[in-house]
């Protein structure tokens, strides 16, 4: 297969197409969507909520799925400001959400999750849980004997025309992917090495760069500065969301049960 980065243990691919390729290869997959699918899922799972995903848009099918699960649909930020409830802001989750069911429908992280659901293991990484997700992936790599692909999800151009590719790579996801790759053991593809190089060149300015990135500015200009600040924190969570039976649960809790 072209573009599969063989024969390396650690690979990097972008977006939904990269997610599908990684799953078809049988790799362990780690999704990184810092602002803020990944950060929201990590925070929700840390508070022991059950997170299900569904490809967008939110339609009658999604609403029926939510009713079946007894789940709340996580709203967009602007909608939640108007109507209340949980949103894509990770700060809307708390310990009060213990064992509650939620459904996430997003164009990036949730869509990628549905595409790669058949991967041997699917994990969610962010700045919040860099060390924990890397440690878990290293253990899974040894147990399963599989390579690891880290997938920065990126954003979508809202005004793509015709056959234009609507993926907009996000530096926040690329830097997060580099942090995780730098902590994984095994041979690195050139793509993975360059991603780590981008991380190293940023020095101690990761938070500053994400704050000033186009994704960071977009959220700040909409009044969600607190989300950007929160999502830029490093290693404040031990939660490792792992997809199991169509929902994300804490992979560290699963490991303790084995």
Quick one: pLDDT band at residue 135, thresholds 50, 70, 90?
A: very high
Q: For residue range 89-122, what is the model confidence (pLDDT) as tens digits?
A: 999 999 999 999 999 998 889 999 999 999 999 9
Domain 10-250 fold: putative 2-phosphosulfolactate phosphatase (3.90.1560)
The tokens for 58 are: 């939110």
The torsion angles phi and psi of 33, rounded to 5 degrees, stand at: -140, 85
The torsion angles phi and psi of 36, rounded to 5 degrees, stand at: -160, 25
- DSSP codes joined into one string, 156-172: E-TT--TT---EE--HH
Q: Find, among 82, 63, 61, the residue nearest to 73 by Cα.
A: 63
Q: For residue range 174-230, what is the model confidence (pLDDT) as tens digits?
A: 999 999 999 999 999 999 999 999 999 999 999 999 999 999 999 999 999 999 999
């Amino acid at each position: 297969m072209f573009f599969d980065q063989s024969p390396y243990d650690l690979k990097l691919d972008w977006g939904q197409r990269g997610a599908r390729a990684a799953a078809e290869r049988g790799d362990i997959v780690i999704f990184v969507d810092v602002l803020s699918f990944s950060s929201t899922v990590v925070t929700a799972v840390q508070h022991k909520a059950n997170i299900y995903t569904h490809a967008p848009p939110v339609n009658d099918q999604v609403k029926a799925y939510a009713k079946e699960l007894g789940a709340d649909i996580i709203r967009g930020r602007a909608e939640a400001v108007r109507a209340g409830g949980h949103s894509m802001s990770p700060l809307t989750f708390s310990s009060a959400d213990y064992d509650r069911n939620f459904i996430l429908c997003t164009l990036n992280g949730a869509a990628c999750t549905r595409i790669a659901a058949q991967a041997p293991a699917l994990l969610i990484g962010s700045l919040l849980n860099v060390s924990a997700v890397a440690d878990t992936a290293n253990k899974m790599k040894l147990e399963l004997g599989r390579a690891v692909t880290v997938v920065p999800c990126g954003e979508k151009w809202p005004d793509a025309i015709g056959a234009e590719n609507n993926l907009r790579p996000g530096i926040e996801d690329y830097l997060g992917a580099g942090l995780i790759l730098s902590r994984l053991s095994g041979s690195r593809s050139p793509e993975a090495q360059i991603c780590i190089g981008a991380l190293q060149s940023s020095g101690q300015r990761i938070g500053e760069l994400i704050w000033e990135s186009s994704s960071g500015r977009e959220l700040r200009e909409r009044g969600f500065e607190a989300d950007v600040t929160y999502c830029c924190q490093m290693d404040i969570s031990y939660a490792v969301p792992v997809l199991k039976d169509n929902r994300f649960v804490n992979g560290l809790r699963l490991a303790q049960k084995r």
